[in-house]
């Protein structure tokens, strides 16, 4: 059974609080306040986000013992000015295990057994960088079950470090504190109703363990090989992770393409540490693994990585890629750079492609272009770049138009840039095509450590519907505008049915939702951003709930709920030109001294209802 993820911050007011708090009705909302603030908001929350095969429990909802404490951001307090364990935690809250014997216990309330866990946690960096490894003990119903191995080797980067992003002594500011740790449960699966406890015992040597959340999942048996397929093992690939399998996998794909067959990747972990500059190319072939917990392609190359090496997987016209995990030993961002990072998949092609049920970890981004492509039912975590980025390839190439790409029912957590984005770059000469027809539907974005939960950077006929964003560390839950000075205009975007929790983090002046226009130095100095937002729920922004920025914007807001922003509900600063049509919206649970709408451009930005 798949589950709808519900990751609303624990300190944010619930739906019931909407009716109890002070309700401000914006123009056009008379007679609709009760429905918008109650029933409609509840319906939006029920429909938003991805349906996943796992259920997530926030550590702060568990039972603490042995001196364990909760660390969290305080609602309405001054917005953070630097990254912290709290800003990067889902729900802006975590449990700290510091003393020997400290613990946090949760209950398996999924209604079924769990044979796997994903523990999202942070342990300290090594003094000189590079991370440490330490165990943490797992108990089931009070009985020791196993030690879980945690590491900070792929966490703790340092922004603006003068040597490299992994160097804590180079003057940079720390961020990217967390990592996810998939765990196969030793012994019998954890039965429904059982108690799961994570405890720092004497053998657990990290100075502190910061626990954010635990995913519980009952993973089924490996899939069977499809008919008319070629196995990579038969072509020399090693599922035992002892020798490089890059050439064997590519040879299998090439043979399948010639013979009109598909490729089968049996259960196992396949080492892909070839230093060749040419990445794996799956174009035109169906490639299937035994399931994202069972078949893994793991990129492991010397760090720092030799110049020119590429590890991305190319997905072109006619490709289907399913049921596979892609992981890497990368330590910081930089495609093809010496931190080992590269795209997870790089999709293009005029003939369409499909990516279904894949799990990418420790990659730079999943880079999605071409025409009529679909990525669905997938997850990504601990990335150094975007989770899923729809784009035009930064080129006028007809195979990279960025037309009619759909991203639906995917889960992204701890991404190093926007969790889900569409990116339309015109290029220095303005020759790149406009991204058109992107659909970002029913996805979940949890705790990106850099940038935004959802980002629309230019494009036409963009739809952003029924997504869930929770706890953005640095930027906004949703950012609508253009990309720098070379971005194509935001011709039209419809944003509806989304639940946007938090946002307005430490990276400058950010807000829950930010709507902006091309800068005055762009190639489109007279273009307007055209935005329609309907039936969205914005909760708990660390600054203003919704911020309309720069100069040229046309915004339609209808039936949106803005709940408990730390600052204004809606803020239009000075210097904005354009129009605002606001009907049926509510701003509720304001802090003392804050206002529902603050328009500092009344002569140039006209609000009508």
Look at residue 520 in the predicted model and tell me its pLDDT.
Answer: 82
Quick one: pLDDT band at residue 447, thresholds 50, 70, 90?
very high
Any domain includes 29: no
Report helix, strand or coil for 92: helix
Counting beta carbons within 10 angstroms of the beta carbon of residue 410, is it exposed (0 to 12), middle (13 to 18) or buried (19 or more)? buried
Say if residue 130 is in the same domain as residue 208.
Answer: yes
Say if residue 407 is in the same domain as residue 537.
Answer: yes
Quick one: pLDDT band at residue 135, thresholds 50, 70, 90?
very high
Asked if residue 23 has pLDDT above 70, the reply is no
Q: What's the average model confidence in pLDDT over 561-580? A: 97
Q: How, if at all, do strands 286-289 and 262-265 pair?
A: parallel
Look at residue 304 in the predicted model and tell me its pLDDT.
Answer: 87
Look at residue 481 in the predicted model and tell me its pLDDT.
Answer: 97
Q: What's the average model confidence in pLDDT over 74-99? A: 96
Tell me the pLDDT tens digit for each residue of 475-530: 999 999 999 889 999 999 999 999 999 999 999 889 999 999 988 888 898 999 99
CA gap 221, 210 in Å, rounded: 32
311 or 521: whose pLDDT is higher?
Answer: 311
Counting beta carbons within 10 angstroms of the beta carbon of residue 114, is it exposed (0 to 12), middle (13 to 18) or buried (19 or more)? buried
Look at residue 32 in the predicted model and tell me its pLDDT.
Answer: 30
Any domain includes 6: no
Asked if residue 24 has pLDDT above 80, the reply is no
Which domain covers residue 338, as residue numbers? 229-608
Any domain includes 18: no
Say if residue 152 is in the same domain as residue 240.
Answer: no
How many CA within 13 A on the CB side of residue 229?
A: 18
CA gap 439, 417 in Å, rounded: 19
Look at residue 275 in the predicted model and tell me its pLDDT.
Answer: 81
Asked if residue 126 has pLDDT above 70, the reply is yes
| Mean pLDDT of all residues belonging to the chain | 93
Both tokens of 384, joined, read 């150094």
Look at residue 48 in the predicted model and tell me its pLDDT.
Answer: 97
Say if residue 403 is in the same domain as residue 493.
Answer: yes
Show Cβ contacts of residue 487 under 8 Å, excluding neighbours closer than 6 positions: 424, 425, 426, 457, 458, 481, 518, 522
Look at residue 35 in the predicted model and tell me its pLDDT.
Answer: 35
Say if residue 270 is in the same domain as residue 186.
Answer: no
Look at residue 220 in the predicted model and tell me its pLDDT.
Answer: 98
Any domain includes 257: yes
From first CA to last CA, the distance across the chain in angstroms is 44
164: domain CATH number?
Answer: 2.60.120.260
271: domain CATH number?
Answer: 2.160.20.10
Count of structural domains, the chain: 2
DSSP for 485-499, written as a single string = TTBPPB--EEEES-E
Say if residue 441 is in the same domain as residue 491.
Answer: yes
Tell me the pLDDT tens digit for each residue of 402-429: 999 999 999 999 999 999 999 999 998 8
Choice among 232-241, 247-256, 514-523 with the minimum mean pLDDT: 514-523
Say if residue 193 is in the same domain as residue 237.
Answer: no
Q: What is the CA radius of gyration of the chain?
A: 24
Phi and psi angles of residue 559, each rounded to the nearest 5 degrees, phi first: 55, 40
Any domain includes 35: no
Say if residue 170 is in the same domain as residue 100.
Answer: yes
Q: What's the average model confidence in pLDDT over 370-390? A: 98
Look at residue 30 in the predicted model and tell me its pLDDT.
Answer: 29
Any domain includes 324: yes
Buried b vs exposed e over 374-402: b needs ≥16 C-beta within 10 Å? bbbbbbbbbbbbbbbbbbbbbbeeeebbb
Q: What's the average model confidence in pLDDT over 181-202? A: 98
Among 196, 217, 238, residue at a domain's last position: 217
Say if residue 196 is in the same domain as residue 294.
Answer: no
Phi and psi angles of residue 17, each rounded to the nearest 5 degrees, phi first: -70, -20
Cβ atoms of 124 and 131 closer than 8 Å: no
Q: What's the average model confidence in pLDDT over 6-13? A: 36
CA gap 411, 215 in Å, rounded: 12
**Angle at the Cα of 134 from the Cα atoms of 133 and 138, rounded to 5 degrees:** 140
**Angle at the Cα of 294 from the Cα atoms of 290 and 297, rounded to 5 degrees:** 90
Among 197, 217, 237, residue at a domain's last position: 217
DSSP for 357-377, written as a single string = EEEEES-S-EEE-SBSEEEES
Say if residue 170 is in the same domain as residue 263.
Answer: no
Show Cβ contacts of residue 161 under 8 Å, excluding neighbours closer than 6 positions: 167, 168, 170, 171, 172
Angular region, 59: left φ>0, alpha ψ -120 to 50, beta rest: alpha
Choice among 307-311, 440-444, 550-554 with the minimum mean pLDDT: 307-311
Say if residue 394 is in the same domain as residue 504.
Answer: yes
For the chain, how long is the longest CA-to-CA vector? 72
Say if residue 184 is in the same domain as residue 248.
Answer: no
Among 170, 192, 217, residue at a domain's last position: 217
Look at residue 277 in the predicted model and tell me its pLDDT.
Answer: 82
Any domain includes 7: no
Any domain includes 43: no
Look at residue 459 in the predicted model and tell me its pLDDT.
Answer: 98
Tell me the pLDDT tens digit for each residue of 32-77: 333 334 447 889 999 999 999 999 999 999 999 999 999 999 989 9
Asked if residue 231 has pLDDT above 70, the reply is yes
Which H or E element spans position 427?
none
Which H or E element spans position 250?
helix 246-259
Q: What's the average model confidence in pLDDT over 461-479? A: 98
Instruction: Identify the sign of the CA torsion 12, 16, 21, 24.
Output: positive
Asked if residue 545 has pLDDT above 90, the reply is yes
Which H or E element spans position 249?
helix 246-259
């Amino acid at each position: 059974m798949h589950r709808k993820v519900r990751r609303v911050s624990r300190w944010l007011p619930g739906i019931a609080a909407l009716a109890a708090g002070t309700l401000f009705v914006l123009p056009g909302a008379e007679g609709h306040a009760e429905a918008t603030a109650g029933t409609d908001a509840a319906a939006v929350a029920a429909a938003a986000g991805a349906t996943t095969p796992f259920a997530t429990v926030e550590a702060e909802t568990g039972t603490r013992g042995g001196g364990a404490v909760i660390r969290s951001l305080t609602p309405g307090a001054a917005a953070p000015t630097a990254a912290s364990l709290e800003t990067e935690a889902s729900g802006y809250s975590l449990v700290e295990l510091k003393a020997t014997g400290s613990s946090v216990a949760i209950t398996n309330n999924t209604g079924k057994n769990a044979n796997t866990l994903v523990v999202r946690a942070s342990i300290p960096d090594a003094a000189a960088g590079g991370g440490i490894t330490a165990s943490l003990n797992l108990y089931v119903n009070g009985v020791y079950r196993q030690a879980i191995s945690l590491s900070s080797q792929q966490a703790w980067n340092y922004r603006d470090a003068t040597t490299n992003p992994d160097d804590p002594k180079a003057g940079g500011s720390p961020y990217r504190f967390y990592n996810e740790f998939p765990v196969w449960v030793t012994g019998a699966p954890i039965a429904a109703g059982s108690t799961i406890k994570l405890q720092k015992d004497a053998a657990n040597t990290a100075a502190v363990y910061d626990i954010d959340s635990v995913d519980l999942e009952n993973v089924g048996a490996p899939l069977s090989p499809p008919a008319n397929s070629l196995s990579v093992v038969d072509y020399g690939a090693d599922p035992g992770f002892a020798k490089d399998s890059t050439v064997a996998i590519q040879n299998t794909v090439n043979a399948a393409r010639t013979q009109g067959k598909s490729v089968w990747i049996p259960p196992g972990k396949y080492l892909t540490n070839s230093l060749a500059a040419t990445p794996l190319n799956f174009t035109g072939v169906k490639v299937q693994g035994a399931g994202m917990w069972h078949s893994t392609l793991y990129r492991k190359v010397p760090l720092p990585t030799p110049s020119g090496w590429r590890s991305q997987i190319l997905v072109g016209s006619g490709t289907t890629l399913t049921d596979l995990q892609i992981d890497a030993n990368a330590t910081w961002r930089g495609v093809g750079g010496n931190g080992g990072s590269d795209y997870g998949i790089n999709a293009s092609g005029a003939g369409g492609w499909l990516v279904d049920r894949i799990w990418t970890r420790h990659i730079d981004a999943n880079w999605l272009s071409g025409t009529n492509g679909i990525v669905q039912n997938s997850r990504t975590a601990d990335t150094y770049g975007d989770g899923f980025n729809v784009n035009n390839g930064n080129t006028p190439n007809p195979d990279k138009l960025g037309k009619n790409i759909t991203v639906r029912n995917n889960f992204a957590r701890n991404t190093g840039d926007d969790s889900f984005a569409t990116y339309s770059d015109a290029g220095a000469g303005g020759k790149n095509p406009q991204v058109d027809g992107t659909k970002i539907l029913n996805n979940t974005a949890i705790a990106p450590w850099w940038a935004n939960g959802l980002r629309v950077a230019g494009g036409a006929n963009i739809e952003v519907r029924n997504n869930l964003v929770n706890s953005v560390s640095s930027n906004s839950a949703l950012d609508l505008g253009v990309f720098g000075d070379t971005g194509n205009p935001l011709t039209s975007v419809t944003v509806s049915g989304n639940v946007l929790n938090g946002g307005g983090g430490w990276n400058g002046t950010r807000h829950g939702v930010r709507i902006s226009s091309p800068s005055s130095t762009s190639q489109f100095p007279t273009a307007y951003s055209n935005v329609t937002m309907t039936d969205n729920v914005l909760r708990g922004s660390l600054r203003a709930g919704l911020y309309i920025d720069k100069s040229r914007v046309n915004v339609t807001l209808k039936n949106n709920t803005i709940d408990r922003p730390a600052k204004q509900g809606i803020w239009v600063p000075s210097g904005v030109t354009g129009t605002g049509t606001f009907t049926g919206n509510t701003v509720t649970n304001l802090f003392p001294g804050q206002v529902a709408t603050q328009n500092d451009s009344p002569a140039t930005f006209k609000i009508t209802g």
